Amino acid sequence: MDISIIIGGEAGAGVMRSGYILARALVRGGLSVFGMNDYPSLIRGGHNAYMIHASDKRIHAHRENFDIVVALNAETITRYVDQLTENAAIIYDPKDRSYAEKLSDKALLVEIPMMDIVKEEKAKPVMMNSVAIGAAAGLTEYDYEILKSSILDSFPKPEVGEINARLAKRGYDIALEEYSSKFKIKVAPLEKDGKQIYLTGNEAVALGAMQAGMKFYAAYPMTPASPILHFLALHGPKYGIVVVQPESEIAAINMVIGAAYAGVRAMTATSGGGFSLMTEALGLAAMSETPIVVAIAQRVGPSTGMPTYTAQTDLMFVLNASQGEFPRFVIAPGDVKECFYRTIEAFNLAEKFQVPAIILIDKYLAESHMSTEIFDTSNIKIDRGELITGEYKGKEYRRYEVTETGVSPRAIPSTRNAIVKANSSEHTEYGYASSNALNAVKMQEKRFRKLKYMIMEMDKLNPAIYYGDPQAELVLIGWGSIKCPVLDALEILKSMDISVGFLHFIYLSPFPVKYALKYLKDRKIMLVENTYTGQLANLLKMHTGLTVDYKVLRYDGRPINPSQIVEKVFEVIR
């Protein structure tokens, strides 16, 4: 069973929420679910959509065609005509019948008197979306009780949940009785051990930061990273986490640096524009060796670009941001599970090496929901590196003491017998400003000596992961969220007896050279990336000399579809 449902309507019609509720019901039935929104940067009047891809097998991405179109307005009925599958159905209200009738040869028309039901039940007009998702569930003969539990748990006020559940039941019954016999796809809950959670990349990053012991979060709103701020502002206070929305991204990152200097794990998040403002302070973190974590959710640029659409175009920018040369971690998780665990890892690495660590995601991963097994938090390790608290036992504390690894013991203010002098200027071991040439060499070499140890550490952390046929002649490469469509493409190709490999880069800095050489040498390489220029190809060549043979690129703000990858592989193999 594999089903793809799109719910569409005007901005303000509760499209995302109803889509989420229906998807959550499927997650509770043990299905593998991917939910993606598509919306313009406005509050009312535009077209919003929420797409659900669900399967009884493990899936990782959206599907670009739809088995059910849930139309909360007339526009939705016609908008997806070219993306209907063979046995598709369209759920609509009688007021939009004239639009639907034109498509009677393309889809099963499921007419549900949504507005009338809402009136009869004395509910608000916006609640027609609950009738609609009820109808979608009824059409597939899904278990209503599971849908009901999802509805009840998704509204804070129980009485509002009850009304919506009742509305959903009305839609469910009509679709089940009058239409389900004519619709081929049936969705049933699975018997499965263990709970699933359904969350976005943003939420997973926020949870990872909380689990890592972050106590201070400062961020300025910027799509698509704002939901991290919302999540932490809502839940943080219960866990002793201070969440602040300051006057700018510049203030945000400088606050994070201040908190980290004082000994607290701290993070900020933003998108490309905000990160542009943060670049100077990123260098401050590097020069003062203050461990910070910055999460960046990319969107389409340059400049304001398309704020609510996806891209991977900030890779080179993030790798090189800020003047001067310094080592940094850039980590690009590929799904929600990696968002959680890799964020925890980022905090540990930042403190262990006293360098900035950047989590690089994009709108597609940041705002898409994915089902995953509930995170195992029993084995989380917190490694604060060479942190000194309480009392410094040595003779005379030097914040930038030159050591074999380049990492200096890090006292924090209030440590007895230690005065902690941090400096953005080049400085001596004590932290006093100095432009002495010999000292400059000594300190720059100290900071860069860390790189060797950072690479050694990274190599133990699966910085790049290989999927698919180990012997495949053709290996796809990609980073971050590209994992989602590629893994689904691999499944499709496998079902056609075409075997390819996939090397997923999670670490971009340091670059996992050993892994790249091990899996890519003497193979044909195909890059899959949401950019115009194919940035990973340049990076790969720079670090390994290997060249990419083929590219699957997309730069219209939409994520790459699994089918797009499959087609390119076909083309190449032929």
Partner 1 sequence: MVTMNQLNTKARNTWCPGCGNFAILTALKKAIVELDLKPENVVVVTGIGCHGKLGDYINVNSFHVIHGRVLPVASAIKLANYELTVIGHAGDGDAYAIGLGHLPHAARRNVDIVYIVHNNMTFGLTTGQVTPTTPRGLKTRSTPYGVFEDPINPIALALACDATFVARGFAGDLNHLTYLIKEAIKHRGFAFIDVLQPCVTFYNTYQFFRERTYRLEDEGWDPTNKVEAFKKAYEWGDRIPIGIFYRVEKPTFRDSIPGYPKQPLVKEDLKIDLTDLLNLLT
Closer residue to partner 1, CB minimum distance, 53 or 265: 265
Q: Pick left, alpha or beta for residue 416 (phi over 0 → left; psi -120 to 50 → alpha; otherwise beta).
A: beta
Q: Distances from the Cα of 82 to the Cαs of 4, 125, 139, 159, in angstroms?
A: 14, 29, 22, 40
Angle, helix 128-139 to helix 144-154, in steps of 10 degrees: 150
Cβ density class 337-346: b for 16+ within 10 Å, e for less: bbbbbbbbbb
Beta strand pairing call for 108-111 and 266-270: unpaired
* C-beta closer to partner 1: residue 167 or 344: 344
Nearer to partner 1, 9 or 227 (CB): 227
Question: Rounded to whole angstroms, how far apart are CA atoms 261 and 256?
Answer: 9
Distance in Å, CB of 418 to partner 1, minimum = 7
Closest CA to 262 of 286, 290, 284, 298: 290
Q: Work out how close the CB of 444 gets to partner 1 at its nearest, in angstroms, rounded to a whole number.
A: 18
Nearest CA to 443 among 488, 499, 403?
Answer: 403
Q: How far is the CB of 357 from partner 1 (least distance, A)?
A: 16
Give the residue with the Cβ less far from partner 1, 175 or 285.
Answer: 285
Query: Residue 270's closest CA among 255, 287, 288, 291?
Result: 255
* CB 393, min distance to partner 1, A: 14
- Cβ-based nearer residue to partner 1, 379 or 547: 379
Least spacing, CB of residue 214 vs partner 1, in Å: 9
**Residue 369 near residue 35, CB atoms below 8 Å:** yes
- Specify whether the CB–CB gap between 555 and 532 falls below 8 A: yes
- Calculate ∠ Cα 307-313-316, nearest 5°: 135
Minimum distance from residue 384 beta carbon to partner 1 (Å): 8
Considering the complex, state which of residue 133 and residue 210 has its C-beta at the smaller distance from partner 1.
210
Give the nearer residue to partner 1 in terms of CB position, either 384 or 442: 384
Beta partners for residue 505, in sequence order: 464, 479
CB atoms within 10 A of CB 135: 30
What are the backbone dihedrals phi and psi of residue 399, each rounded to the nearest 5 degrees, phi first? -60, -35
Q: Minimal distance in Å, beta carbon 216 to partner 1?
A: 6
Minimum distance from residue 24 beta carbon to partner 1 (Å): 8
Tell me whether residue 180 or residue 408 sits nearer to partner 1 (CB atom). 408
Cα separations in angstroms, 53 against 7, 82, 490, 515, 568: 12, 18, 17, 32, 22
Nearer to partner 1, 265 or 342 (CB): 265
Q: How far is the CB of 158 from partner 1 (least distance, A)?
A: 16
Q: Are 10 and 45 in contact (CB under 8 A)?
A: yes
Q: 88 or 420, CB closer to partner 1? A: 420
Q: In whole angstroms, how close is the CB of 142 to partner 1 at the nearest point?
A: 17
Structure tokens at 388: 């000194």
